[in-house]
Amino acid sequence: MQKKFMRLGETIRRYAVLDSTNEEARRLAQEGAPEGTAIIAAQQTAGRGRQGRVWQSPASTGLYLSLILKPDVAPMRAALIPLAAAVAVAETLIADFQLAADIKYPNDVLVKGRKICGILVESAIEAERLQYAILGIGVNVAQQEFPDDLKAIATSMLLETAKTLTLEDVLTPLLAKLNVWYPCVWTAPEQIINRWQELSSYARDCPVRILSFDLTIEGTTRGLTTAGALLVELDSGEVREVVSGEVSLRKVRSA
């Protein structure tokens, strides 16, 4: 039986500067911090995204949030956590800020084709049991401009809404939606899959190129499996499952 759900964000630890909120969350989890503990930093000096990429974290311009999760699920089920988080972020942007959010597999949240949020989940597994997972969410809130290498691919809530928002303006509705979607990891995983597919223009019938190590695959998306893998149909008709964390994905032509 699933243990009692601990609401996310009931305890919030705030820092002026951290190397990485995920690193601090990991340290606290190892010390026994309870599930739901949130770590927020005004600035990160070593923020990171998926596949070892750097996450730009200038002071007081983004929401840099990590949450300690301890779901009583098999490690394979943890792959649903970033999908649930992406749904929560997208719904926050749509419902609370009237932004046309989109989700790019597995968990980048975009507005007008530009990245506004990144999500990184790092898990600790021992003896085939999930000890804890750290859910990191970075939302671009108040950036007025980006470095040259990001200008064409990144955006912020300020740029998209022309409104000055505080980090709390974003945090409060986001935590509320995370508290709706996170329990679905064990109570209703199919709801996560269905909602993710509804919110993502990349989910079905989208020509894509998958880059995985030294292998390149081109095909068309055919939705998600029940475990959260992306289905890609090749020109040959073969359908392959693409697993989160192992590939990057981008449109190669309009769907």
Q: Which residue type occupies 164?
A: T
In whole angstroms, what is the distance from residue 83 CA to residue 185 CA? 9
The fold for domain 12-199 equals BirA Bifunctional Protein; domain 2 (3.30.930)
| Least confident range of 109-113, 149-153, 197-201 | 149-153
Confirm if 173 and 165 have CB atoms less than 8 A apart: no
Residue 147's pLDDT is 85
Q: How confident is the model at residue 100 (pLDDT cuts 50, 70, 90)?
A: very high
In whole angstroms, what is the distance from residue 141 CA to residue 144 CA? 9
Summarize pLDDT for 177-202 with one digit per residue, the tens: 999 999 999 999 999 999 999 999 99
Residue 67's pLDDT is 98
Q: How confident is the model at residue 1 (pLDDT cuts 50, 70, 90)?
A: very low
The fold for domain 204-251 equals SH3 type barrels. (2.30.30)
Q: How confident is the model at residue 107 (pLDDT cuts 50, 70, 90)?
A: confident
The domains of the chain are located at 12-199, 204-251
Is 92's pLDDT higher than 80?
Answer: yes
Summarize pLDDT for 215-235 with one digit per residue, the tens: 788 899 999 999 999 999 998
Q: How confident is the model at residue 51 (pLDDT cuts 50, 70, 90)?
A: very low
Q: Please name which of 66, 56, 2 lies closest in space to residue 28, comparing C-alpha atoms.
A: 66
Confirm if 209 and 250 have CB atoms less than 8 A apart: yes
Instruction: Supply the mean pLDDT for the chain.
Output: 88
Burial 36-63 (b: 16+ CB within 10 A, else e): bbbbbbbbbeebbbbeeeebbbeeebbb
Q: Across residues 200-205, what is the average pLDDT?
A: 93
Greater pLDDT, 89 or 60? 89
Confirm if 20 and 44 have CB atoms less than 8 A apart: yes
Q: How confident is the model at residue 247 (pLDDT cuts 50, 70, 90)?
A: low
Q: How confident is the model at residue 237 (pLDDT cuts 50, 70, 90)?
A: very high
Those residues with Cβ within 8 angstroms of residue 35's Cβ, 6 or more apart along the chain or in another chain: 6, 68, 69, 70, 132
In whole angstroms, what is the distance from residue 64 CA to residue 49 CA? 12
Is 61's pLDDT higher than 60?
Answer: yes
- Cis preceding linkage at 106, omega within 30: yes
In whole angstroms, what is the distance from residue 95 CA to residue 93 CA? 6
Q: Across residues 35-40, what is the average pLDDT?
A: 97
